[in-house]
């Protein structure tokens, strides 16, 4: 029996594929690409490098995760960037869904780890594209400039193989470990995500908000690019 793809083609509260700005962004980024695979590749790079990674933008509210907001602000964290990519795919008629996993990130900044009190990022977000009859994962989180500063290999996406974080950086040091698969969804399961954040992150228990800071300044200071 074939999979029902309709939920992954429809607009949603955060995956705003019907928003005029999101639709225009998707059409411009996809350009004249003939195949869905080529469209997905172009959209991936448009989100990966056109939207700067900023974990301090993390939100678990619909208003903070809307694709149109991420597009307008030109920055977001892994969850919001994955939502924008999924929305862009759906806007040009390609099924896309949101995937999540718990990861241990060894290359966040010291200030970020101090605020979080852990190096585990729960519900790390990626996008899954339906291409040639199967789902292919992509992770548009880290823009290329950030990868260069951290000495990471930027994640490429060819529309055929899963694009997830490399286990080692360019120097051979451990970068990221996948700990637990959370599944894939049409819209982010915000209630489940919030329950995990409140349980695991002291700053969510105390204030119900994400930690704040200037991530780019922290990266520049720690990597000597300031």
pLDDT digits (tens, 9 = 90+) for 134-175: 999 999 999 999 888 888 888 999 999 999 877 777 888 778
pLDDT band at 107 (very low <50, low <70, confident <90, very high): low
Task: Compute the average pLDDT of residues 89-98.
Answer: 98
Question: What's the whole-model pTM score?
Answer: 0.92
Question: Higher confidence at residue 200 or residue 186?
Answer: 186
Joined together, the tokens standing for residue 196 give 């995990």
Task: Compute the average pLDDT of residues 110-133.
Answer: 88
pLDDT digits (tens, 9 = 90+) for 30-44: 999 889 999 999 999
Predicted confidence (pLDDT) at residue 208 exceeds the cutoff of 60: no
Instruction: Write down the pLDDT at residue 160.
Output: 97
Per DSSP, what are the bridge partners of residue 135?
130
Of residues 213, 25, 11, 214, the one with CA closest to residue 115: 213
pLDDT digits (tens, 9 = 90+) for 4-30: 999 999 999 999 999 999 999 999 999
If one counts every other C-beta atom within 10 angstroms of the C-beta of residue 120, the result is: 15
Of residues 164, 169, 83, 96, the one with CA closest to residue 135: 96
Averaged pLDDT score across all residues of the chain: 90
Domain covering 6-223 assigned CATH 3.10.620.30 in the classification: yes
Domains of the chain: which residue ranges? 6-223
């Amino acid at each position: 029996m074939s999979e029902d793809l309709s939920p992954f083609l429809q607009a949603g509260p955060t995956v705003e594929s019907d928003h005029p700005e999101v639709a225009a962004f998707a059409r411009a980024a996809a350009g004249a690409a003939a195949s869905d695979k080529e469209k997905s590749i172009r959209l991936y790079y448009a989100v990966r490098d056109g939207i700067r990674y900023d974990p301090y933008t993390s939100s678990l509210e619909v208003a903070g995760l809307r694709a149109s907001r991420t597009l307008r602000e030109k920055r977001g964290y892994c969850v919001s960037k994955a939502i924008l990519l999924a929305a862009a795919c759906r806007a040009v008629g390609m099924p896309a869904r949101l995937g999540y996993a718990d990861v241990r990130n060894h290359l966040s900044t010291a200030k970020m780890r101090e605020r979080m009190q852990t190096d585990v990022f729960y519900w790390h977000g990626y996008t899954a594209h339906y291409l040639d009859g199967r789902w292919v994962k992509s992770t548009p989180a880290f823009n290329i400039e950030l990868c260069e500063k951290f000495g990471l290999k930027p994640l490429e996406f060819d529309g055929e193989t899963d694009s997830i974080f490399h286990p080692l950086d360019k120097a051979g040091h451990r970068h990221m470990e996948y700990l637990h698969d959370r599944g894939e969804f049409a819209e982010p399961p915000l209630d489940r995500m919030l329950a995990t954040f409140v349980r695991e992150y002291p700053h969510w228990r105390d204030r119900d908000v994400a930690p704040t800071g200037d991530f780019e300044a922290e990266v520049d200071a720690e990597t000597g690019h300031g």
